[in-house]
Homo-oligomer: A and B are copies of this chain.
Amino acid sequence: MHPVVKKLSTFASFSKSEEEQVEHLFSRTQVVADKEVIAWEDEPAEDIIFVMEGFVHRAKMLTNGRRQILAFMSPGDACDRGVSILDRRDHSLVALGEGIIARVSHQKLEALLTETNKLRDAFQWATLVEESIAREWITNIGQREAPERAAHLFCEMFYKLRAIDQVEGMSYRLPLTQRDLSDAIATSEVHANRVLQALRAQHLIAFGDKRLTILDLQGLERFAGFDPTYLHLSAKYRQT
């Protein structure tokens, strides 16, 4: 199934013709290399970018050289719905590992959404979930300690990726360096390393070869204080 359809199917189901409409929109794809910058901060925002394969992250650089990763986007995710209204983007988009993206003009997407309200709702749902995740990141970074933050992120990714069939058994591909992880959970690189060791020592996860394995999902969730409600998954994707 087309990644965007797959993603939206976690919210609603679509007819064959609706699927084809969506697929047609994303005909123009592009391969991106690991660490390739897809869109720069301060650049005027033009097309909307969708992830077809692999991962993309959103990041901000500070004047003091620090970096904060704001989100991880996986297949089917839109990177910037409707950002064209704003003058310029306030963050960059960078590929994590090799991937495939599609660029869609704002006009074309709007045209499709005006046609079918079911699709408009589905995209709206995706946007709202993304906002909800951003709020959870604020909470995670603000109120939890580093090991809990990492554990929480791994739980989030697990549920998100499982809903789009990107989980095999209890493990999923996660092409992050420890530095990437540290910029996502707002710790130093050194501390991220120690956090990972602690989680491994507690037999909660394994992480290597760009792959994360959850050894004890219940334990990891309990440790992180994770509650998947904020992902607004439909019932069939919610169970542990």
A134 touches B132 (CB 8 A): no
Residue contact B138 to A88, C-beta cutoff 8 Å: no
Contact of A229 among B88, B131, B186 (CB under 8 A): B88
**Is B138 in contact with A68, judged by CB distance below 8 angstroms?**
yes
What total of chain A residues lie within 8 Å of the partner, measured CB to CB? 41
Complex Cα–Cα for A67 and B138 (A): 11
Chain B hits for A70, CB < 8 A: 135, 138-139
Q: Which of B90, B128, B142, B232 contacts A230 (CB 8 A)?
A: B90
Task: Take A138-B138, A225-B62 as given contacts and tell me if A128 and B232 are in contact as well, using a CB distance cutoff of 8 Å.
Answer: no
Report how many copies the assembly holds.
2
- Of A14-22, A78-86, A205-213, the one contacting chain B is A78-86
Residues of B within 8 A of A23 (CB): none
Contact A90 B141 (CB under 8 A): no
Instruction: Tell me how far the C-beta of A133 lies from the nearest C-beta in chain B, rounded to whole angstroms.
Output: 10
Q: A60-B139, A62-B139, A70-B135 are in contact. List 20 more A-B contacts (CB 8 A).
A: A60-B136, A68-B138, A68-B139, A68-B143, A70-B138, A82-B124, A85-B121, A86-B129, A88-B229, A90-B135, A90-B230, A90-B232, A91-B135, A131-B134, A134-B134, A134-B135, A137-B138, A138-B138, A141-B142, A142-B186
